[in-house]
Amino acid sequence: MLLRDIAHSRTGDKGNRSIISVIAYDIHDFPLIESQVTIERVKLLYKDIVKGRVERFSLPQLGALNFILHDALGGGVTKSLALDAHGKSLSSAILSMEIDQSMKS
């Protein structure tokens, strides 16, 4: 199963940071998301794009994770050469992440 099947995502930008939320449609899927959408996997997924560290904040009452990707926007929207200078489309990539359902408790 893909993360897309159980969650939605939105990307925003601040300076040279990309901020990506991952939000479960059904709060019961949140433990699965929290255990599998890890900082390490997010770092690997965006290895061509993110040059800095990755932070993760958890909001269990909303079934939501928020990732802060540092040094991710080619110096920031205003001088980036990227076609998608805001990094808005990055949310669609995270939803392609494979989720192992068998790990559901």
Contact residues for other proteins, defined by CB under 8 A: 4, 8, 10, 12-17, 19, 21, 23, 25, 45-49, 55, 57, 59, 61-64, 66, 68, 74-79, 81-84, 89-90, 93, 96
Cβ-based neighbours of 39, under 8 Å, separated by 6 or more: 54, 55, 56, 67
- Give the residue with the Cβ less far from other proteins, 36 or 68: 68
Name the minimum Å distance from CB 12 to other proteins: 3
The distance of closest approach from Cβ of residue 85 to other proteins in the complex, given in angstroms and rounded to an integer, is 10
Tell me the C-alpha to C-alpha distance, in Å, between residue 55 and each of 18, 26, 35, 104: 11, 24, 15, 24
